[in-house]
Amino acid sequence: MDLSPAGGLRAIKSTLGHTLVGLSVTATLGPGGSVTVTGIRFIFGHMGPSPAPELANLHARLRRVLDGQNVTLDDIKLDLSQCTDFQRKVLTVARRIPHGATVSYAALARLSGHPAAVRAVASVMRNNDFPLIVPCHRIVRSDGSIGGFMGETTGRSTDLKRRLLEAEGVRTELRHSVWMVAGLPTPALLTRGLR
């Protein structure tokens, strides 16, 4: 059974700060009621109907993530069949970044086994079909600036990234019109437990 937007938009709502944010989740329903997520998109504005009953638990968990709670999402199956081996590796490593931590794109490239592929890693994160489950908002630039989010470097998307980080307890500060991670930990602390 396909639980895709073709069958109706499935969205959840959260007020992250004062920003109304929703998620459109597409998934397939397998044997025994197992759900495999095929994509997630952030929505600003109109939210659409309530989630399909098969997705109610997933939506509740994602809502808690949007509300800043530390929720384990490791058990959620993702459809990575359209990904290259490189993309799968980057997404798998990024998925292990813990709540409240940040890692630079360069560190993610090293941890993924491709230290020279920083731009390619950034491209994988920019095109991440599974935000929150693969927490691309936790990837920041090496200079401490929060960088882009969902393919944008300014506007609602980067504001959402900053709010997601702050909801997880990551302090940010505005320096020279650029949002920065305040008191960025040493690289050893950033990568502990990700290998």
140 CB contacts (<8 Å, ≥6 apart)?
A: 102, 103, 104, 105, 146, 147, 181, 184
Rounded distance between C-alpha atoms, residue 49 and residue 58, angstroms: 16
User: What are the backbone angles phi and psi of residue 56, rounded to the nearest 5°?
Assistant: -55, -45
Instruction: Report the amino acid identity of residue 163.
Output: R
Q: Which of 65, 66, 136, 140 is catalytic?
A: 136
Q: Tell me if residue 83 is catalytic.
A: no
Residues 149, 28, 83, CA angle at the centre, nearest 5°? 50
Classify strands 2-3 and 19-29 as parallel, antiparallel or unpaired. antiparallel
Rounded distance between C-alpha atoms, residue 163 and residue 8, angstroms: 28
The CA distances from residue 101 to 5, 26, 86, 186, in Å, are: 32, 27, 23, 11
Which residues have a catalytic role annotated? 136
